[in-house]
């Protein structure tokens, strides 16, 4: 993935609550980023919701703790393709 694609993924899409996503539907994970928020560290992920639409969600702390730096690098470089169901 080149730099312009990274910028499009980061800039496009809106933040939504995970409850708004459709149950049992696989969403491709496009990008992940570790952040520090008011209540501690978390991971923001960009998902492909529709062909031309991305959404962003914050993972719960228990899930965010399970992703290490290497996992996030694999997602961002597309070495591994993850889906959120």
The answer to whether residues 67 and 59 touch, using CB atoms and an 8 Å cutoff, is yes
Contact of 42 with 58, CB cutoff 8 Å: yes
Of 7 and 64, the structure prediction assigns the larger pLDDT to 64
Kindly report, residue by residue over 25-83, the tens digit of the pLDDT.
999 998 898 988 888 888 999 998 877 778 899 988 888 888 888 888 888 888 888 88
- CB-facing half-sphere around the CA of 48: CA atoms within 13 A: 10
Which among 14, 54, 51 has a CA at the least distance from the CA of 30? 54
pLDDT confidence of 9, banded at 50, 70, 90?
low
Top pLDDT among 18 and 3 is at 18
């Amino acid at each position: 993935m080149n730099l312009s694609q990274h910028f499009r993924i980061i800039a496009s899409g809106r933040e939504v609550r995970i409850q708004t996503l459709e149950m049992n539907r696989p969403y491709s994970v496009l990008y992940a980023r570790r952040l520090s928020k008011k209540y501690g560290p978390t991971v923001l992920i960009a998902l492909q919701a529709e062909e031309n639409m991305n959404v962003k969600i914050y993972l719960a702390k228990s899930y965010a703790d399970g992703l290490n730096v290497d996992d996030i690098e694999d997602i961002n470089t597309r070495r591994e393709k993850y889906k959120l169901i």
